[in-house]
Amino acid sequence: MRLHASGLLLLFASRATFAHEALPDGGIESLADAGVPGLPQHDYSTVVLARRPISAASSFSVRDRDFQLRPVGSVQDILRVTPGLVLVQHSGGGKANQYFLRGFDADHGTDLALSIDGVPINMVSHAHGQGFADTNFVIPEVIERVELTKGPYFASQGDFATAGTVNLVSRESFEHTASLGVGFGGSPGRGQPSARVLITASPKLDSFRATFAAELGQSNGPFDSPDRWNRFKLYNRLSIDPTPRSTLSLIEMSYGGDWRGSGQLPARAVESGQVSRFGTLDPSEGGSSARHQLALIWVAHPDERSQVDALLYVATYRFNLYSNFTLFLNDPLAGDEIEQVDRRTLYGGRVSYRLIRNAGPIRFDTRLGADLRADDIHAELWHTAQRKPLTNLRSNDVHEQLGGAFINEEVSFWSWARLNVGGRFDLINYAVDDPTTELSGTGSAVQFSPKASLVVTPLQREAAQLELYVNWGHGFHSNDVRGAFATPAVSPLTRAIGEEVGARARLFGRWDLAAAGWLLDLADETVWVGDEGTTAVNGPTRRYGLELETRLEITSWLAADLDVTFTHSQFSTDGSNGGGLALAPKETWSGGLSARHVLGPGLARGGVRFFGIGDRPATDDGALVAPGFTQVDLHLGYRIWKLDLAVDIENLFNASFRSAQFATVSRLRNEPAIGSVAPAGLTCGSKGRLAASPNGTFQGCEDVDYTPAYPFTVRATATLFFD
């Protein structure tokens, strides 16, 4: 195998799908030389370029070996391998998390594109908020690799790929033929215990490869009113090689779950003692969700210099969510609980063709393709009380199709320089039928997004390698198309324009460093609307920041890493409030120590991890603050013979802090009636404030509502292998 690549490459043999955009620059005579799957001379092995940046300093791929040394209770813990990405628990275990990345409070995923094996996870025109990305249907153990990019610089990436993208790649087989894992956990002295059972099977067959995993679990959390998140998950994969140069995989995933949520508590209610930190003001909050999907993946190599990828998928989705953000602000008797309902079928496909060719010393790497997604959606919004329907506020049907075509040309002039130039064209069509609000109609929109990147390798020696990157590109996220018929109307596609300069280095064969400075302009911003429990669109914004990463192999068995980000975010046109942007993170940090070493007759492993986020404004004017936090977790494991034992500790030092936070105008049951004269000396707690009122009457309190972070929590897991 002929690879003239820098020492930045970490090569791993696996049966994974080839990381298409992670080929090294220069020196590759054919895709066969890069270890493409399906070629007999390599025994169907794949060379995965695990830490090679695609074409930006902030992009790379992470293997399962890295996140196996982390405390992993769900797939959300795996997502934390993304530098600068912070996830927090968001009102009940079965609901999508809240994501923070590159100065975005992306809420549930508006500016972060999430997918698994290329199948999109984000939901368009969702009942709870645009881009809702619920990863709870994924079994964490089936994830083999995580592919990460940031910024709108990549022609193959479409909707929601503004702050970044994360593609989870599932495994084709497990290390062992079969296994049974049982886990128990909980917070000592708080709440009720949780349990989880995992079964995997990967039989050794001649004509095809089969993989199966099933999870059953219940999580309760530390809350006075237990979450009771009951769930099941299935993963089935069948792969065959129709020809020596092609692979066909059918992947099925199923999930169903229901839960109770403790809700978001106004800080003043906890401060005054009306409710405990882990209590609830509405024990009927929570919901249920289900997702079932099929994906067919075909990879073929017509010859040694070309590759064809094709993906077809279909999924059904069901979602019911009961929330009470404003408590008794609008209905002083029954309360303000709402139910959001989403029923949909989504289906789509993707095809791409790649060709490598040479013209003298210059190498051309051409990739072109197209993708299509369609969603048939029925959504409802109800005013409810204790989960009983009172009033139908909205009932609508949405039919939405988004299609795109892209092309990218990578030109390697020399072994130390390569240029990427490309772009994509996207078209959205939609139809909305909403008899409850009469906001109905049809429409469409188009956008062209140019991209360009330059990579230079000025230093390429055994002891030191250095690569420099310059990136520029347009991208977009779609908006809820129901807003296209509102007043004022919302653009269906929001343009993002990003730039980035960065560097990535490897020293002494064991020390990796990376730095990236970036800027992103967004044509309009999604903002939280508490009384509706969803998002709306506001004015344009600008974000810029600095990201620093370092990873050091201290010894052959001990490694350390650290990621730090600094970001400034503001509205571009509103100078009256200093350009503030609510909930936009200013600083994030993560890192830790990871170890794997032979100990006695077995193999020991461990990891101490931390992540955190700094104080950030909870309101645009900065009057209310969402306090930051740092969480420290611990993972310990030992494998001997056919048994693996693991202990995970979340919040090792039992720190007391807030997880998800929002500034919300609400009314507690014992507070003055809306519209009444506010009593003299009335306050909204030590950190809240009275809601604005033109005539001095009481209109509620604006306070920081939050979900408390889990206290010291232990999970113990035992896994038995049957081969």
Q: Does residue 414 surpass a pLDDT of 50?
A: yes
Place of tokens 């970044």: 164
Q: Is the pLDDT of residue 43 over 80?
A: no
Report the pLDDT averaged over residues 316-339. Answer: 96
Q: Tokens 């520029």 correspond to what residue?
A: 472
pLDDT, residue 525, reads: 85
Instruction: Determine the Cα–Cα distance for residues 172 and 296; give it in Å rounded to an integer.
Output: 13
Phi, psi of 454 (to 5 degrees): -130, 130
- The domain defined by 11-721 folds into Maltoporin; Chain A (2.40.170)
- The answer to whether the bond into 488 is cis (omega within 30° of 0) is yes
Return all residues near 520 (Cβ < 8 A) that are at least 6 apart: 102, 103, 151, 152, 162, 163, 496, 497, 498, 499, 542, 543, 544
Phi/psi of residue 141, nearest 5 degrees: -70, -15
Choose the weakest-confidence range: 324-333, 343-352, 569-578.
Answer: 569-578
The pLDDT value recorded for residue 531 is 53
Alpha carbon of 99 to those of 251, 259, 386, 623, 674: distances in Å? 27, 21, 29, 23, 34
Reply yes or no on whether the pLDDT at 45 is more than 60: no
Of the given ranges (42-56, 282-296, 488-502, 673-687), which has the lowest mean pLDDT? 42-56
Q: What is the CA radius of gyration of the chain?
A: 25
3-class SS at 22?
helix
Say if residue 494's pLDDT is above 90: yes
Using the predicted structure, report yes or no on whether residue 173 has a pLDDT greater than 60.
Answer: yes
pTM: 0.90
Q: Tens digits of per-residue pLDDT, 707-717?
A: 999 999 999 99
164-170 and 112-116 strand pairing: parallel
Residue 704 binned pLDDT confidence (cut-offs 50, 70, 90): very high
DSSP string, 676-694: SBPPTT--STTT-EEPP-T
Residues in CB range of 680: below 8 A, 6 or more apart: none
C-alpha 185/C-alpha 148 separation (Å) is 31
At 534 the pLDDT is: 62
pLDDT, residue 578, reads: 55
Q: What distance lies between CA 309 and its chain's CA centroid?
A: 24
Cβ distance 650 to 700 under 8 Å? no
Confidence of residue 71 (pLDDT cuts 50, 70, 90): confident
Cβ proximity of 244 and 40 under 8 Å: yes
Tell me 132's DSSP state: B
> Cα-flanking dihedrals φ and ψ of residue 228, to 5°?
50, 50
- In this prediction, residues 361-381 reach a mean pLDDT of 97
Phi, then psi, of 484 in degrees rounded to 5: -65, -15
Most confident of 11-25, 66-80, 304-318, 675-689: 304-318
Contact present, 397 and 440 (Cβ < 8 Å)? no
pLDDT interval class at 357 (50, 70, 90): very high
Statement: residue 247 has pLDDT above 70: yes
pLDDT of 235 reads: 98
Cα distance between residue 363 and residue 413, in whole Å? 7
Q: What's the rounded Cα separation, in Å, for the pair 383 and 391?
A: 5
Quick check: 645 and 717 in contact, CB under 8 A? yes
Question: C-alpha distances in angstroms, 184 versus 198, 633, 648, 690?
Answer: 12, 17, 10, 44
Q: What residues pair up with 501 in beta bridges, in sequence order?
A: 470, 517
Q: In whole angstroms, what is the distance from residue 16 CA to residue 37 CA?
A: 8
SS3 annotation, 163-212: CEEEEEEECCCCCCCEEEEEEEEEECCEEEEEEEEEEEECCCCCCCEEEE
Place of tokens 């066969």: 32
Q: Which two tokens stand for residue 517?
A: 């400075």
CA distance 433 to 397: 5
Residue 593 predicted with pLDDT over 80: yes
State which of 51-60, 244-253, 573-582 shows the largest mean pLDDT.
244-253
pLDDT value at residue 567: 96
- Taken in order 644, 713, 128, 84, the sign of the CA dihedral is negative
Contact assessment for residue 270 and residue 7, using Cβ atoms and an 8 Å cutoff: no
Q: What is the mean pLDDT of residues 672-689?
A: 92
- The DSSP 8-state label assigned to residue 667 in this structure reads B
Give residue 3's pLDDT: 32
236 CB-contact burial (10 Å; exposed 0-12 / middle 13-18 / buried 19+): middle
The pLDDT of residue 49 is above 90: no
* pLDDT tens figures, 418-442: 999 999 999 999 999 988 877 899 9
The lowest-confidence range among 177-191, 296-310, 427-441 is 427-441
Distance CA 227, CA 253 (A): 24
Look over the chain and give the mean of its residue pLDDT values, rounded to a whole number: 88
Q: Taking the CB of residue 389, how many other CB atoms lie within 10 A of it?
A: 11
Higher pLDDT, 301 or 61: 301
* pLDDT of 492 higher than 70: yes
CA distance 723 to 293: 30
CB 375 within 8 Å of CB 348: no
Phi, psi of 33 (to 5 degrees): -65, -20
**Could you tell me what percent of the chain has a pLDDT over 90?**
75
| Closest C-alpha to 478, from 427, 518, 519 | 427
Q: Judging by DSSP bridges, how do beta strands 701-708 and 713-721 pair with one another?
A: unpaired
Kindly state the average pLDDT of the residues 105-115: 90
What is the chain's length? 723
Counting Cβ atoms within 10 Å, is residue 587 exposed (0-12), middle (13-18) or buried (19+)? Answer: middle
Q: What is the Cα–Cα distance from 238 to 315, expressed in whole angstroms? A: 18
Q: Retrieve residue 97's tokens.
A: 């998390």
- pLDDT on residue 575: 53
The predicted pLDDT at position 105 comes to 87
